[in-house]
Amino acid sequence: MIYRFGMRILAALAVSAAVAAIYTPARAEALLSRGIGTTNCAGLIADIKPNEGLNDPVNLMLYAWVQGYISAANVALLEYDRRHVDMTELTETNVLHMIREYCKAHPEKKPANALDAYLKTTKKMRAQWQAGTVEWDE
């Protein structure tokens, strides 16, 4: 279970790094250096282009960041009470639309606030998990 989540995080980071190395327009470059999750929704909303999918560098960075955020949240949820969010629903289309709609409604907030709201309201699945099995300190 941890291996799968870890691999998703590594894959998301690898995709983000590849996008940065291959093509980063000025706006995407600023988002990359500042961190897309800490960007104000008002500054991000115009750059999310769901119709372009992952061909757009900002969309790709946002999607990779969301995958990492939810993966990390899943580890915390599993450690807390053996539940997790099914990430199969977080397709590129769903993610881009979810963040764009949240940011339209809350321009003063950040994309992380959208994901926190999602995590609070989405259905969680039970899993077999032994708390304390994440051994990052050793």
Taking only the tens place, the pLDDT of each residue in 2-36 is 555 555 555 554 555 444 444 445 455 555 556 78
Q: How confident is residue 128, by pLDDT bands cut at 50, 70 and 90?
A: confident
Residue pair 87/74 in contact (Cβ under 8 Å)? The answer is yes
5 residue type, one letter:
F
Nearest to 49 by CA among 33, 62, 32: 62
Residues 6+ apart with CB under 8 A from 102: 41, 109, 111, 113, 114, 117
- Computed over every residue of the chain, the mean pLDDT equals 81
